[in-house]
Amino acid sequence: MPNIKSAIKRVNVNKKKNLENKIAKSQINTAVRKFEDAINAKDVELATKLYAEAVSVIDSAAGKKVIHKNTASRKKSRLAVKLNTIK
């Protein structure tokens, strides 16, 4: 454990940021999982709606620099390909 006051503050800030990043990544995984469940059920209407939500969550995380913009782009592209296969 750090002894210097500024180092103690940095530990606290890092813990908070780590938690926020973990929450954002979890939201991405949840949105993608719901979308994939709709794909597996072959529900085009629901999948289209969930695709928009998943893309929004991914873009939000990329905007906050939780994930890299290229990673976000790759994830969105893969979701789009899955959506187009059932249409």
* pLDDT (0 to 100) of residue 67: 98
Of the candidates 59, 57, 58, 54, which has an alpha carbon nearest to the alpha carbon of residue 37? 54
Range of the domain at 39: 5-86
**pLDDT level of residue 73 (50, 70, 90 thresholds):** very high
Instruction: Report the sign of the C-alpha dihedral through residues 13, 16, 33, 76, in that order.
Output: negative
- Tell me the per-residue pLDDT of 28-68, one tens digit each, with 9 for 90 and over: 999 999 999 999 999 999 999 999 999 999 999 999 999 99
Residue 1 has pLDDT above 90, yes or no: no
**Proportion of the chain above pLDDT 70, given as a percent:** 100
Q: Does residue 87 have a pLDDT over 90?
A: no
pLDDT for residue 57: 98
For position 17, which CATH number holds?
1.20.58.110
Task: Give me the number of domains the chain comprises.
Answer: 1
